[in-house]
Structure 1
Amino acid sequence: TIADASDDQTVNIWQRDGKWLRTLSGHQGTVRDVSFSPDGKIIATASFDHTVKLWRISDGTLIKTINAHSAEVYSVSWSADGQMIASGSADKTVKIWRVSDGQLLKTLSGHNGDVNSVSFSPDGQTIASGSADKTIKIWRISDGLC
């Protein structure tokens, strides 16, 4: 399965052979990033509407909307165990969320520009964030230290 993010506020889901499956609609701004859960059943989307949305891929159902940031959300990433997602935003923060209930677990502050990308380490102990401030920071999840 393949997904695309779009300026038209939607996400299209495609089969690997290029056959279109469905369109996910519900964001109120450009969709900037998409990320598949480790089990491939859920997609997380990051949007300029300040939200992260979780969608069931099999039927396109919106599972959860997280009012994630005070500015555009540029990036979203799943932890390897599928229990957390991280989001990066124009508000210069990285936030870590528990997937099961959408609870904010940590806010990581320290960038001086938009956070354009986030990625969990394979062992789930750290997050890397890339920013318009021309830095990459590595954060320890347990205590939020850079």
Structure 2
Amino acid sequence: PNGKLLVSASEDKTVRLWNIGSGAPLQTLKGHTGVVRAVAFSPDGKLLASASGDKTVRLWDVGSGAPLQTLKEHRASGTAVAFSPNGKLLASASGDRTVKLWNAGSGVLLRTLKGHKDWVRAVAFSPNGKLLASASDDKTVRLWNAGSGAPLRTLK
């Protein structure tokens, strides 16, 4: 978010932070036991989320690289993560055909969004944080009310 750091996900089960200016690696975050498929910074740049083939989403402290939470509610490989614009919510997508909404501060699962018929590959919040979009291998994009989790529309 500050334009100084880059984060990468890796098949070697790690997350790496890089200095954009120099291209130098700064930290390697270890803890996942499967391929890391997706990463996202919180809007304030203090947190990092990673989704893995080990069926977990992990939250990390960007400054120290310390693991903060391991979120374990998915039944299949994690494929995508996104923070809401205010940083209070975290959405995670999975091969279990669901999207999970978490309290980004506490790691508490708030709700599970169901409706896709295949792997969910991407999630994104609207700029005002009121809507959440999820894209799936079922060839649909679903729009959800980010606050209530209510389905709003399915784009085919």
TMscore range, shorter length? over 0.9
Which amino acid in the other structure matches residue 114 of structure 2? S
1:104-142 deviation line (CA, Å, top 9, x unaligned) = 111110001000000111111110000011111111123
Residue 7, structure 1, aligned to residue 17, structure 2? no
Alpha-carbon distance in structure 1 between the residues aligned to 2:60 and 2:18: 14
Give the aligned partner of residue 154 of structure 2: none
Alpha-carbon distance in structure 2 between the residues aligned to 1:12 and 1:64: 17
1:30-109 pair list within 5 angstroms: 30-109=35-114
Give the aligned partner of residue 115 of structure 2: 110
Which amino acid in the other structure matches residue 7 of structure 2? A
Seq. identity, %: 45
Give the aligned partner of residue 121 of structure 1: 126
Question: Please, which runs of 5 or more residues in structure 1 have no aligned partner?
Answer: none
- Compute the displacement of 1:13 (Å): 0.6
Question: Please, which runs of 5 or more residues in structure 2 have no aligned partner?
Answer: 152-156
Given candidates 29, 32, 35, the residue that maps to 2:34 is 29
Which amino acid in the other structure matches residue 85 of structure 1? L
1:36-89 deviation line (CA, Å, top 9, x unaligned) = 000011110001111110111112111111113011110000011111100000
Q: How many pairs are equivalent? A: 146
- Compute the displacement of 1:9 (Å): 0.3
What CA RMSD, in Å, does the superposition of the two structures yield over aligned residues? 0.9
Given candidates 20, 27, 45, the residue that maps to 1:16 is 20
Alpha-carbon distance in structure 2 between the residues aligned to 1:102 and 1:57: 16
- Compute the displacement of 1:98 (Å): 0.4
The alignment's TM-score, normalised by the length of structure 2, stands at 0.91
Alpha-carbon distance in structure 1 between the residues aligned to 2:53 and 2:8: 15
- Compute the displacement of 1:94 (Å): 0.5
Which amino acid in the other structure matches residue 150 of structure 2? L
The alignment's TM-score, normalised by the length of structure 1, stands at 0.97
Alpha-carbon distance in structure 1 between the residues aligned to 2:40 and 2:74: 18
Alpha-carbon distance in structure 1 between the residues aligned to 2:121 and 2:50: 14
